[in-house]
Structure 1
């Protein structure tokens, strides 16, 4: 985001929550930084500076406001929209790559040297990867301090700190208080033992019920569960499987109940849930573009802020997309369930109806799928795709180059442009994907008096959201706010 001073200051003066997460306001007279919607008295313009990340504000010596909690603001939608190396790095850092493999590992994943990556991040954001990861660790630590009774030493190492001293110093610098004082002031009481309950914020408008309904309608027994209100699923995280239960909250956010194998995976779990629920999107920007088109205006007005539900794991989505080719949603669920039980990783013990984590590519590449019910050609495609994912020939991690991933996918025999586009839309959370030849889209476009060719470019850079509006028109059972499909004639 271009941090043009007057524009940012107007957002702060009007307490515009739409800009929360886009930038942070640092107040020189108090030494704190806030989100734009902070309810505190608006500081004088001469006393403020603006930063694009919380990490940059912290590196400049400012501490987080205790009133508006800027560290808990929705993430910047910029990192999902952009495809350059800085955005890819931000997505990987949010997923915990620095904690898992350090800055050298992050640089390798991006194909850059450490020096090149540091120069790019500092040049745009003012801080490097270590400072960005430190801000992420501080937020994870705060969540654990406020939602568990874990000893502080356990909190420190679970959040990714290398030592108790580093943990204590960071909490003091970022929050201007001690870990013990943070716990004493926590809101509410810890939940069920072994389970964390978090509030995942979103930019309004946000219809959590609709997003969860869409995910629930595609739920695979054993991997996912849907009871009409709460969507639950198994997450395959770096240090072991986890179970998350997601349900709408009264304030427009999403309540997440997490059961983790290792608390070290908390940051990754939150990042993947946010991506799955599309919580960091900028609905105002999307609706402004799509609502200006006469063909979509009524659809956008009827469902403002509609989101694109994604997958927490793009490799899983790629396999499921292949299994779902040319079959119904119910048929895809059945086939995926069979693959899950044939090659998935069983949980140490079932959690309700959840029994397995989705097969990892290396397990699926060698799995015997003859009894699953796939055709020979489809079975060969699944094996070839899994082998390419396992070997790293197809990059589908959060920092993947989306264009490169699409090219690699269509090189696999049996994967065409539609499947590759679906992986981009719901696997890599690309906001600007069109599904060529999709029958449901064609049906909706015909009803609106438009065509696939017309739509190919006119809704950029938000074509993924246009897809969701048109799907809602064609398949209303997957959406809570879906209009009836009428013929153009």
Structure 2
């Protein structure tokens, strides 16, 4: 979009925050870059130039606006919609792969050479993988500087910088302030995107998103299907444990009027950027709800339900392998039975943790078992039908040995093929995993019972083949159409919880 000058100018002049993250506005006279929705007076069009990423603007010598904080805008929805190389690379960079494994690690995960990755990212985003990762480190550093009491040396390494000098130089270059000046500036009135927390050893922040957002199905689904010990709904917030590269964490996510309130407790602050990225992925916060709903409204049978509660998101997962295991546990059983089976698996084989926010009426006790831990189990110890036991053991073996990639940078088509090749993994399971683990916005479940009941209620074709043909109207957003179809039923997944689990 950044190449459409007139359209970008109109968005900036209208201060249209719907385009935040789609492109960045750089002002030639002030050498500052902003988000389209910046509340400041728009510059003259002849003084504007546009970039597809914050990293590209930074590389061109522009500093982040202190008022609109473009580094904290919602991410580009393009990376959630597309399945090509650039989109997969961007999802992996957001997941911290470059910081942990370098550009060669990124290239190896994608199956391309480092030169091919760099060339394609530069062509589309105006910045290579190192610059994109650097911009993310700068954003994480600012968050820690402004919202925590960590020493600056600890902030530097937690944000992923290799040295204090690089940290100081980057912060000064990107924000035109030293780290100490940033902290002093934030103390009198903490910024709207971050807030201090009363819980020791944790960090509170706001996760931005594009409006509208309907929290009912998003949090209702997560709470209704939550695995005891790993997830819970408490005091108006969804809480869960996180398995992270350097340790573990506990996150609390609460829907507010214009943001998601997020509180994170981590055993290693170097996992902060990744934890935030996974929380955004879980709640589908980088979606473009206006584009989605506009397309779904073209179907007159679906339009009234979109208008009734616009902005539905697809509830995802923080761990693709975990979700795939839970899909198998839930085959042909009720939601309650699936939760019970998963809870037993967690209690017996999950890694025990201590909840930093203890509570007499609840608490988180475990990380969900890793594929490696599950692959080592005696299949006979699993209390489930023999056929489903075989399906589960086949799945965890493939996940544990790298035979299937369900990470954020996975190739969607290849993952579908690999899943379908496993015994007991049918189309419903494949598409459920594609929707919530892989994040394919066009994943579709025509054989799902809830979808078929909703189709009958709305006057849509009831058979899977006929419904799939009709659903061509909804592409490429069929996963979102499923959320609207499910919302026609009377089920806890459609309701924002009011009490604990």
Give the structure-2-normalised TM-score.
0.93
Aligned residue for 1:153?
A: 153
Distance 1:195 1:372 in 2: 37
Verify: 1:64 aligned to 2:71, yes or no.
no
SS where residue 121 of structure 1 aligns?
helix
Distance 2:315 2:432 in 1: 12
CA contact (8 A) 1:103 1:114 kept: yes
Aligned residue for 1:324?
A: 330
| Structure 1 pair 462–368 and aligned structure 2 pair: CA distance change class (3 A) | same
Aligned residue for 1:484?
A: none
Aligned residue for 2:241?
A: 234
Distance 1:330 1:200 in 2: 30
Verify: 1:284 aligned to 2:282, yes or no.
no
Question: 244, 266, 277: which one pairs with 1:271?
Answer: 277
Cα deviation digits, residues 105-127 of structure 1 (max 9, x gap): 00000001111111111111111
SS where residue 243 of structure 2 aligns?
strand
- Shift in Å, 1:325: 0.6
User: Tell me, which stretches of 5 or more residues in structure 1 are unaligned?
Assistant: 482-489
Larger RCO (CA within 8 A; separation ≥ 6)? 2
Distance 1:228 1:334 in 2: 23
Distance 1:450 1:6 in 2: 41
SS where residue 193 of structure 1 aligns?
coil
Question: 205, 210, 214: which one pairs with 1:198?
Answer: 205
- Shift in Å, 1:136: 0.3
Task: Tell me whether 174-183 or 384-393 shows the greater mean CA deviation.
Answer: 384-393
| Structure 1 pair 415–102 and aligned structure 2 pair: CA distance change class (3 A) | same
CA contact (8 A) 1:346 1:357 kept: yes
Distance 1:167 1:208 in 2: 37
Aligned residue for 1:335?
A: 341
Aligned residue for 1:260?
A: 266
CA contact (8 A) 1:339 1:369 kept: no
Verify: 1:392 aligned to 2:402, yes or no.
yes
Distance 1:153 1:359 in 2: 34
Distance 2:268 2:277 in 1: 15
Cα deviation digits, residues 197-231 of structure 1 (max 9, x gap): 01000101113354222211111110001136111
Task: Tell me whether 279-288 or 454-463 shows the greater mean CA deviation.
Answer: 454-463
CA contact (8 A) 2:146 2:183 kept: yes
CA contact (8 A) 2:354 2:364 kept: no
Distance 2:2 2:446 in 1: 33
Distance 2:247 2:218 in 1: 26
Computed over aligned residues only, the root mean square deviation of the Cα atoms, in angstroms, reads 1.5
Q: How does 1:362-381 map to 2 (within 5 A)?
A: 362-368=372-378, 370-381=380-391
Give the structure-1-normalised TM-score.
0.96
Distance 2:311 2:177 in 1: 37
- Shift in Å, 1:448: 1.4
Q: How does 1:457-476 map to 2 (within 5 A)?
A: 457-476=472-491
SS where residue 406 of structure 1 aligns?
helix
Aligned residue for 1:486?
A: none
CA contact (8 A) 1:247 1:254 kept: yes
Aligned residue for 1:36?
A: 36
SS where residue 197 of structure 1 aligns?
strand
Task: Tell me whether 454-463 or 409-418 shows the greater mean CA deviation.
Answer: 454-463
Verify: 1:3 aligned to 2:3, yes or no.
yes
| Structure 1 pair 209–437 and aligned structure 2 pair: CA distance change class (3 A) | closer
User: Tell me, which stretches of 5 or more residues in structure 2 are unaligned?
Assistant: 462-466, 497-501
SS where residue 37 of structure 1 aligns?
coil
Distance 1:421 1:208 in 2: 23
- Shift in Å, 1:440: 1.0
